[in-house]
Amino acid sequence: MAERIALITGVTGQDGAYLAEYLLSLGYVVHGVKRRSSSFNTARVDHLYQDPHLGNVPFLMHYGDMTDSTNLIRLVQQIRPTEIYNLAAQSHVAVSFESPEYTANADAVGVLRLLEAIRILGMEKDTRFYQASTSELYGLVQEIPQKETTPFYPRSPYGVAKLYGYWITVNYREAYGMFASNGILFNHESPVRGETFVTRKITRGVARIEVGLEETLYLGNLEAKRDWGHAQDYVEGMHMILQADEPDDFVLATGELHSVREMVELAFAEVSREIVWHGKGVEEIGIDARSGKIAVKIDPAYFRPTEVDLLVGDASKARQVLGWKPKRSFIQLVGEMIASDLAEAKRDAAHEQRTL
């Protein structure tokens, strides 16, 4: 078989790390793009790293940024990837309201830069392109569940930037015959999910309360409902999307809906704590029945100017065309995240003891 060479932008993120590991297990040579930062930012992929001085190592990293065309062109030229997975993005919806222009630059124009790099180098027929599109494109509910034909109505600068990314990918497929596909992925989580996304914020907060490092978890809208899957299942789906006979756009989702409130209750239940709710709206609090303390409080700072109330996907097309379906359940996911965060919280607590 010809050598399979993948280029992953956003390799230091949650999905990038799982995807790199998965592609390496399939025998790919994997090149990842990381950003220059003043401190180490490769914790999620350090276990994959081998010293390139050893020669012929299958995992290599390069500095780069989605806002720098010259860099992207040079990387594609040097690496000549057979598959590009464009996962790099300012991916936090709430932060996109704070940094809308940067979000548009990285998440919208960044996609164009990478597609243009392929075209400028005349690699349209050599390189398959995956764009990390999102259920945030659906935003304001038009149809339940959401599928490939559901109209888009994004509700944040992030969603709007990703809408451009979606359509420019479709356009380059139609205009230049490129194998360019969108994965429209619903929320997917894991023990290495960024700490400020709500699932990880909850499991990390619960773990820190359990070991006595914190007392209260501050959250925004408890009524938001999402379709939460496991990142490991979703990166396998990304790979399947690029192995299809034809380029196309696919929803990946579990079809199961849970609210933030349910997620909180379940995460506390994992450490045998029951939350009893009192009050309403921003005054609502969650009392830990075991300790009698306030374990959950609402902080309006976490409300978004425009919220996405409910997202639940129908992944029938991916099941039928690609044979993809999620393997891990929501309960398994929360259990795995709590176990990992408990281990981390215990390490932090022990460290605090030693430094007292």
Q: Which residues are catalytic?
A: 134, 136, 158
Nearest one of 42, 32, 156, 48 to 92, comparing CA atoms: 156
- Which residue number, 220 or 326, has a Cβ lying nearer to ligand GDR? 220
Binds 337: which of ligand NDP, ligand GDR, none (CB < 5-8 Å by kind): none
Binds 302: which of ligand GDR, ligand NDP, none (CB < 5-8 Å by kind): ligand GDR
Q: Contact at 8 Å (CB) between 239 and 22?
A: yes
Respond yes or no on whether the N-terminal peptide bond of residue 52 is cis (omega within 30° of 0). no
Binds 31: which of ligand NDP, ligand GDR, none (CB < 5-8 Å by kind): none
Q: What DSSP string describes 283-298?
A: G-EEEETTT-SEEEEE
Q: Least distance to ligand NDP from the beta carbon of 107, Å?
A: 7
Q: What angle do CA 153, 150, 188 make, to 5 degrees?
A: 80
Binds 192: which of ligand NDP, ligand GDR, none (CB < 5-8 Å by kind): none
Helical packing angle, 110-120 and 69-79, nearest 10°: 40
Q: Least distance to ligand NDP from the beta carbon of 183, Å?
A: 8
Q: Least distance to ligand GDR from the beta carbon of 196, Å?
A: 6
* Residues at the site binding ligand NDP, with contacts judged by CB under 6 A: 9-10, 12-16, 33, 35, 37, 41, 65-67, 87-91, 106, 132, 134, 185, 187-188, 194
Q: How many CB atoms lie within 10 A of CB 112?
A: 17
* Residues at the site binding ligand GDR, with contacts judged by CB under 6 A: 91, 93-94, 134-136, 186-187, 196-198, 201, 219-221, 224, 226, 260, 302, 304, 307-308
Residue nearest to ligand NDP (CB): 13
> Who contacts 95 (Cβ-Cβ below 8 Å, separation ≥6)?
103, 158
